[in-house]
Structure 1
């Protein structure tokens, strides 16, 4: 797994690249893990007045 940060003028994108075999671990049961990660980013972004996005990159991930 690798995390790359792409910073723009008003948005920061956290791009998470995972191996095909690990994609289920990142998404979690019924998507709970990835939803939780996105919720944390949303709360932090509101507190800081910025916009954070989570982008999943992998063989089986559709955006």
Structure 2
């Protein structure tokens, strides 16, 4: 899945074997230094879960093409 295709209500499989549901998606642009890994046509991106006491939000950070 491309990071830009992620939508609210999408389910993600976690590294511990459980499933979590995306409740919101925010897109933003910023200038920063990053190290991206590309294997053939597969680009990495990151998901961040909200703190347990805050409203449940998942954020994505797409890699540069």
| Smaller-chain TM-score bracket | under 0.3
Report the TM-score when normalising by structure 2: 0.24
Bigger Cα Rg: 2
More helix per residue: 1
Report the TM-score when normalising by structure 1: 0.25
Higher RCO (Cα < 8 Å, 6 or more apart) = 1
